[in-house]
Amino acid sequence: MYAETQTWSPFKGCEFDCTYCGPTFKAQAKRQMHNCHDCYMYTPHNHPERLSRIPNAKTVFVCGNADIKFCDTDYLKLIIEAIRNNKREGQTFYLQSKEPACLEPVLDLLPENVVLVTTLETNRDEGYELISKAPPPSIRYEQFVKLDYPRKVITAEPIMDFDLAIFAKWISTIEPEYLWLGLNSREKRLKLPEPSPEKLYKLAETLIKRGIEVRGKTLRDWPMPEGLNRTQG
Ligand code: SF4
C-alpha cells in the first residue's frame, strides 16, 4: 500500500524568506541541526544520495522544503531523470516554485505524472516585498501562465486580501487541475492581511461556478460554498 503523501528532498533550501515560512518549513529544518548544517540553515543545497530514494507514496512533493528556483538546472535534470526512471505505478509528483520561469528549461523532460505548482496568495503586488523576496504575484502569474504544460495546480495559501475580479480571472486563465485554498495557519504568531470571510466565500463560489475544483485547507470555521472540498480545518 502507498502512503497518501510524502515529501522527497534531493534538494533543500530557499532564499525567498517568506514571513510565513519561519513557523512552518524552517521550523522543520531546525530539527536537522545534528544531521546537516545546510538543512538547519535552510541554505540551498543538493542531497544526491537521496536521488534514488523516492518515497513509496501516491503523491510525492518534490523538494517540498525548498524552492527549486535555487536548484541548479543540471541537478534539476537529474531529479527529473530519477522520476522518469522510477518504476512504481500510480504515483504523482508535484514540482513547485514561486518563480515558475525556472521550470521552462525542463518542460520537455517532464513525464505525464508530474504536476507543476505555484503559490498565489493574492493578486496584489503592493506591499508584497514585506511578505517575501519571491517575484511579486503579477510576475509569478505571468510566468505560470506562459509555461506550456498541461498539468498545473495553484496554492492560494496563506490567502491574503485580493481583488475579486482580477484574482478569479487569473486563476481561471491558468486552468489549474484544482486550487488549494487556505488561511494563515499560524494566526497567533503571524499577522497577514486577510480578506473578509464574505470575500473569500465569493472567490470560492465564483471559481466553483467556473468549473474549477477548490480544495479547502485550514479554513477555520469560515463558511464556504457548496461544492468546496474541505479536506482539513
Ligand atoms: S518560497 Fe517556500 S520554501 Fe521559500 S521561503 Fe517561501 S515558503 Fe519557504
pLDDT at 1: 40
pTM > 0.85: yes or no: yes
Residue 233 has pLDDT above 60, yes or no: no
Question: Which atom of ligand 1 lies at the shortest distance from residue 98's CA?
Answer: 1
Count the residues in the chain: 233
Backbone dihedral angles phi then psi of residue 85, each to the nearest 5 degrees: -80, -10
Choosing from 19, 98, 157, 190 the residue with most ligand 1 atoms within 8 A of its CB, the one to mutate for a pocket test is 98
Closest residue by Cα to atom 6, ligand 1, is: 18
231 band by pLDDT with thresholds 50, 70 and 90: confident
Cα–ligand 1 centroid distance for 1 (angstroms): 31
Choosing from 67, 102, 185 the residue with most ligand 1 atoms within 8 A of its CB, the one to mutate for a pocket test is 67
Cα–ligand 1 centroid distance for 12 (angstroms): 11
H, E, C per residue of the chain: CCEEEEEECCEEECCCCCCCCHHHHHHHHHHHCCCCHHHHHCCCEECHHHCCCCCCEEEEEECCCECHHHCCHHHHHHHHHHHHHCCCCCCEEEEECCCHHHHHHHHHHCCCCEEEEEECCCCCCCCHHHCCCCCCHHHHHHHHHHCCCCCEEEEECCCCCCCHHHHHHHHHHHCCCEEEEECCCCCCCCCCCCCCHHHHHHHHHHHHHCCCCEEEECCCCCCCCCCCEEEEC
Query: How far is it, in rounded angstroms, from Cα 146 to Cα 161?
Result: 25
CB contact at 8 A, 216 and 231: yes
Within 6 A (CB) of ligand 1 lie 14, 16-18, 21, 25, 66-67, 98, 132, 134
Radius of gyration of the chain (CA): 17
Residue labelled with grid coordinates 486563476: 171
For 102-151, the pLDDT digits (tens) are 999 999 999 999 999 999 999 999 999 999 999 999 999 999 999 999 99
21-30, 39-48, 109-118, 174-183: least confident range: 21-30
Cα–ligand 1 centroid distance for 148 (angstroms): 24
For 51-80, the pLDDT digits (tens) are 999 999 999 999 988 999 999 999 999 999
Choosing from 7, 11, 12, 16 the residue with most ligand 1 atoms within 8 A of its CB, the one to mutate for a pocket test is 16
31-35, 96-100, 202-206: least confident range: 31-35
